């Protein structure tokens, strides 16, 4: 029997509710699932001269290790508050600059948080904790981008 992976995402105002589920995980007992919130594109001229950056990771609810490990299957619900996320991302950039004595090419903080997608990334942990995951374990899948309309644009 093949493991079944599903996820849904719904945006209401500044909140994104995500539900991810894996069924019949006994075929891959070390299966893990990562959930990633990405922004379609960001306009920011970095030190390398590139102005447009695609598929920018904005959040990984559940962390880099994801969740899973139960052979019967597993599910997880997440809620992402975009206002808090915007504040946390700006603070993270400021902290990085202070800690590493770095000055960014621009004081601009590109935090549109529009055109968002939830991506599920199945993977199987093949080695001990901290080891690299096998990229062949599963392809990247976008989840219901139609249910997450972009915020009204302000120009």
Domain housing 66: 4-147
Number of domains in the chain: 1
**How far is residue 79's CA from residue 154's CA, in Å, rounded to a whole number?**
25
The SS3 of residue 137 is: helix
Mean pLDDT of the chain: 78
Look at residue 155 in the predicted model and tell me its pLDDT.
36
Residue 153 falls within a domain, yes or no?
no
Residue 41: name the closest of 119, 132, 117, 122 by CA: 117
Residue 143 falls within a domain, yes or no?
yes
Q: How far is CA 45 from CA 94, 104, 105, 127, 152, in A?
A: 17, 10, 8, 39, 23
- Predicted confidence (pLDDT) at residue 114 exceeds the cutoff of 80: yes
Look at residue 113 in the predicted model and tell me its pLDDT.
93
CB half-sphere exposure, 26, CA atoms < 13 A: 3
Look at residue 151 in the predicted model and tell me its pLDDT.
43
Residue 71 falls within a domain, yes or no?
yes
């Amino acid at each position: 029997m093949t493991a079944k992976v599903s996820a849904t995402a719904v945006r209401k105002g500044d909140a994104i509710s995500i539900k991810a589920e894996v069924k019949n995980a006994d075929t891959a007992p070390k299966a893990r699932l990562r959930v990633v919130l990405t922004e379609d594109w960001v306009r920011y001229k970095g030190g390398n001269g590139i102005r447009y950056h695609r598929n920018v990771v904005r959040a990984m609810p559940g962390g880099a290790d994801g969740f899973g490990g139960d052979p019967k299957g597993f599910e997880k619900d997440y809620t992402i508050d975009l206002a808090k996320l915007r504040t946390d991302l700006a603070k993270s950039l400021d902290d990085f600059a202070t800690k590493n004595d770095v000055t960014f090419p621009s004081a601009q903080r590109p935090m549109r948080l529009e055109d968002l997608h939830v991506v599920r990334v199945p993977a199987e942990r093949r080695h001990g904790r901290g080891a690299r995951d096998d990229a062949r374990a599963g392809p990247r899948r976008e989840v219901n981008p139609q249910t997450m309309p972009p915020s009204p644009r302000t120009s």
